[in-house]
Amino acid sequence: MIKSFFGSMTARVFLILVGGTVISGALVMLLASYERRDFDEQTRAQRTVERVVQIIRLLDETPDSANSAIVAIAREYGMRVDLNPSIAVIGKVPDSVVTTELRATLGNNRDITVLQGEGADCPVRKYDRGPGPGPALSPGMDDPIRCEIVLAKLKDGTSVRVDVSHRNRPPPPFGGGFFKNLALFLSALTLLALMVAHMATKPLRKLAQAAHALSRNIDHPAIAVGEGSTEVREASVAFNSMQSSIRSYIEERTIMLAAIAHDLQTPLTRLRLRLEKVDDETLRNKLVEDLTATQDLVKEGLEFARTMSADYPSFDLVDLDSLVETLCNDATDSGQEVTLSGKIGRPLRASPHALRRCIANLLDNAIKYGKFAHISVKQEHDKAIISIIDGGAGIPPDQIEAVFRPFNRLESSRSRNSGGTGLGLTIARIIAEKHHGSIKLKNMGSKDLGLLVTLELPIS
């Protein structure tokens, strides 16, 4: 079942939708992570500039006696202020975003240099420091804390160094109910994808069902062409056109066959009357025998034509048990070996005449080619099962389907010498299919038992 599902168009559309959405979502998350990294860098730089500007302006505007208090407060917030820096910068340091922003805020006349530091060179808030000795680390991370080292001049020309540390710890990727939200997203996506796949492939399933129905009944109603995409609607129109052409062809062939068979009956009847005047009794008997076979063939041809063109707009309730019992009694009265077992006990809807012809053909076939017929009737679920076993030689496995073709007769016992026309099983199968049933053949493979014919009819 799983294999057949994933081989269907519904599964393929579903997988394309889900796979495409998941891949698109992954790409969006990847791009968002890069954008967030850039945003975090900009935010960090902006906060660094704000904190440095605050410290420098405090030092510019307050008396020297307050410097120690400002330095202590800055230390609590992860900044280190040194009014007598011993660091020396050799060469020119390229300007960074922080450098540019500080000069734009404090004035371009100030000498400002920004360096990068990490580990022991960076101040750490007391509640961010890990236990034990060693370099300061970002909380919960293996990387050392990083910082900006800002060298500047106050208004009075005093050199000042301000070290501003920042956390280099991104938020956890799978925190904050990530898996719960992911499960809800995938569930909603799966449900939506299944609905879309089902809706997209529904017209195709209807087209496939119509094709199967056409194989059983050429008069099956045409497909509605107003559903589905343009391609599906075009396929539906083409299918309806094909069905109409096939129906017309079959009707023309059936009418032609019926006309030929009907027109042959009159000259054959006159021929029989004239044969009675033949004096040679032996010759007369042979000619009458051949004429009888020809009339039987014409009769079967007419019946075949009627069966092909028959339409059953409504069925009547038929007592299948009584019908089968009557046919068995008629065969027994004519000296045939026929046995009956089982009952259904409930009627089914069918055409009484057609169903009688179907079962009679199967019974006659078994008696004619198999010497006897054992019939059993039973109900399985919502189907009536009629099984007929004969005592013949069976049918070669490669010929089981061939016997249902019109005018097809097997050699040996199932030949023209047995009186068959090759239409009995064909007519029986057509009648069964018009009743939404089926006929199956199976060799019993026993010395005493030959062919098993199973007729299945729905019970509604």
Domain assignment of residue 79, given as a range:
2-166
Whether 187 is in a domain gets the answer: no
Task: Find the CATH number of the domain harbouring 341.
Answer: 3.30.565.10
Indicate if 214 and 253 belong to the same structural domain: yes
User: For position 289, what pLDDT does the model report?
Assistant: 81
Task: Find the CATH number of the domain harbouring 229.
Answer: 1.10.287.130
Whether 194 is in a domain gets the answer: no
Contact 196, 17 (CB under 8 A): yes
Tell me the two tokens of residue 198: 């089902």
User: For position 125, what pLDDT does the model report?
Assistant: 63
User: For position 326, what pLDDT does the model report?
Assistant: 93
| Domain endpoint, select from 286, 309, 332 | 309
| Domain endpoint, select from 166, 190, 224 | 166
Indicate if 328 and 387 belong to the same structural domain: yes
φ, ψ of residue 450 to 5 degrees: the values are -105, -90
Indicate if 342 and 426 belong to the same structural domain: yes
User: For position 412, what pLDDT does the model report?
Assistant: 44
CA–CA separation, 298 vs 290, rounded Å? 12
CA–CA separation, 430 vs 309, rounded Å? 10
CA–CA separation, 148 vs 151, rounded Å? 10
What DSSP assignment string belongs to 294-349? HHHHHHHHHHHHHHHH---SS-EEE-HHHHHHHHHHHHHHTT-EEEEE----S-EE
User: What DSSP state is assigned to residue 145?
Assistant: P
User: What DSSP state is assigned to residue 157?
Assistant: S
Residues of the chain with pLDDT under 70: 1-8, 88-91, 125-144, 167-176, 216-217, 227-228, 305-306, 308-314, 407-421, 460
Whether 186 is in a domain gets the answer: no
Task: Find the CATH number of the domain harbouring 114.
Answer: 3.30.450.300
Q: How far is CA 102 from CA 99, 112, 147, 294, 433, in A?
A: 5, 8, 16, 115, 91
Whether 200 is in a domain gets the answer: no
User: For position 413, what pLDDT does the model report?
Assistant: 42
User: For position 416, what pLDDT does the model report?
Assistant: 44
**Total structural domains within the chain:** 3
Whether 193 is in a domain gets the answer: no
Cα 270–chain centre separation: 64
Indicate if 19 and 40 belong to the same structural domain: yes
Tell me the two tokens of residue 128: 């961010």
Indicate if 98 and 216 belong to the same structural domain: no
CA–CA separation, 331 vs 325, rounded Å? 10
Contacts of the segment 201-206: beta carbons below 8 A, 24+ positions apart: 201/8, 201/9, 201/10, 201/13, 202/227, 202/228, 203/227, 203/228, 203/229, 203/232, 203/233, 203/236, 204/9, 204/228, 204/232
Q: How far is CA 432 from CA 3, 183, 379, in A?
A: 33, 52, 16
Q: How far is CA 397 from CA 20, 48, 248, 375, 411, in A?
A: 50, 90, 34, 22, 14
CB neighbourhood size of 297 (10 A): 18
Indicate if 20 and 156 belong to the same structural domain: yes
CA–CA separation, 328 vs 444, rounded Å? 22
Contact 415, 409 (CB under 8 A): yes
CA–CA separation, 46 vs 429, rounded Å? 87
Whether 252 is in a domain gets the answer: yes
CA–CA separation, 425 vs 409, rounded Å? 10
| Domain endpoint, select from 110, 142, 166 | 166
Specify which residues 350 forms β-bridges with. Answer: 316
Indicate if 145 and 19 belong to the same structural domain: yes
Indicate if 368 and 317 belong to the same structural domain: yes
Indicate if 252 and 280 belong to the same structural domain: yes
Beta strands in 144-220 (DSSP E): 146-153, 159-166
User: For position 414, what pLDDT does the model report?
Assistant: 42
User: For position 140, what pLDDT does the model report?
Assistant: 46
CA nearest neighbour of 190 among 19, 24, 6, 2 = 19
Whether 199 is in a domain gets the answer: no
CA–CA separation, 289 vs 419, rounded Å? 11
Whether 183 is in a domain gets the answer: no
Indicate if 296 and 344 belong to the same structural domain: no
Indicate if 417 and 320 belong to the same structural domain: yes
Indicate if 407 and 454 belong to the same structural domain: yes
